[in-house]
Amino acid sequence: MNIATGNSLSETELVSGVIERDQNAMRVLYSRYAGYLTGVCSRYIADDSAVKDILQDSFIKIFHKAEEFEYRGEGSLKAWMTRIVVNDSLKQLRKKKNLPLPPTLANEADVADEPWEYTKVPVNELHGMIRRLPDGYRTVFNLYAFENKSHREIAQLLGIKEDSSASQLHHARALLSRWIKEYIHTHNDE
């Protein structure tokens, strides 16, 4: 099996190969999902060197625990791997204990509830904006927006109050909204 032919393998076939420690299967799995998982991890972790370390640990864990994966339909392998990466990212963030205090926004109330014009912003720009958020805002935003966590769940995960989680999300969205507007304004002028 090589990467070219391996790309046609189903998720279950890939997992079977990984369980059998087929190097090619591991390579195919890595090639297929590394880019996506890097995007997921880098949404949580701003430091690129830490992203690499976390991804390495996550992939090793994925390969070792492949026999524990239970296929639940198309996309379940991707979801399972994403969960591992997110968990490892959160553990990395948890080590910081005191997440940095986000900046105070001026006229925050004016931007807080603006609808997003995110469709006018390339996704890679959006990704960059999310990475620019302070750790606290970014973590809550990712958990809420991408992992579908409630504020209660986020509060339990991060050891904060529920209303604090809501506040962080509010601030994160306000910041992103402002940056999106600035981006649109800048590129419209061009």
Partner 1 sequence: MSELWKKKLQEEFESFTVPEPEGLWEGISEAMGKEERRKRILPIWWWSGGIAAAAAAVAALFIVFRGPASTLSSGSGDQIALVDTPTVTIPDDSITGTSSSSSSDTFDSNVFVPSSVPSHHSVQTTVIEEFEEAESAVEEPESQPVQDTSGTPETEVPGVDETVVAEVPAEAEQALDTPSGSTGVSSEPAVIDFGNFNDEPAGTKRSRQRGITIGLYSGGVNTARTESYGYGLVQSQRVITRAAAPATGSGDMGMFIRMMAANKPSTFHAQHDVPARLGTSLSAQLTPVLSLSTGINHTWLNSTFTEESGASSTNISQSLKYIGVPLQLGVRIPRLRKFNLYVSAGPMLEYCYASDAVSTSWFGSTKAPEEYSNPGKGSWIWSAGLNAGAEYRPWKHLGLYFEPGVEYHFVRESSPESAYTAKPLNYSFSFGLRFHIND
Which of positions 94-133 make contact with partner 1 (CB under 8 A)?
A: 94, 97-99, 101-102, 104, 109, 112-113, 115-116, 118-119, 123-124, 126-127
57-96 binders of partner 1 (CB under 8 A): 59-61, 63-65, 68-70, 72-73, 75-76, 78-80, 82-84, 86-87, 90-91, 94
Secondary-structure breakdown of the chain: helix, strand, coil percentages, each rounded to the nearest 5: 75, 0, 25
12-31 binders of partner 1 (CB under 8 A): 21, 23, 26-27, 30
DSSP 104: P
Distance, CA of 165 to CA of 178 (rounded, Å): 20
Q: Is 45 in the site for partner 1 (CB under 8 A)?
A: no
Question: Looking at beta carbons only, is 187 or 189 nearer to partner 1?
Answer: 187
Which are the contacts of 175, defined by CB distance < 8 A and separation ≥ 6?
Answer: 105, 133, 137
Q: Which stretch binds partner 1 (CB under 8 A): 1-9, 142-150, 181-189?
A: 142-150
Question: Looking at beta carbons only, is 27 or 181 nearer to partner 1?
Answer: 27
Contact 31, 91 (CB under 8 A): no
Cα four-point dihedral sign 135, 138, 142, 145: positive
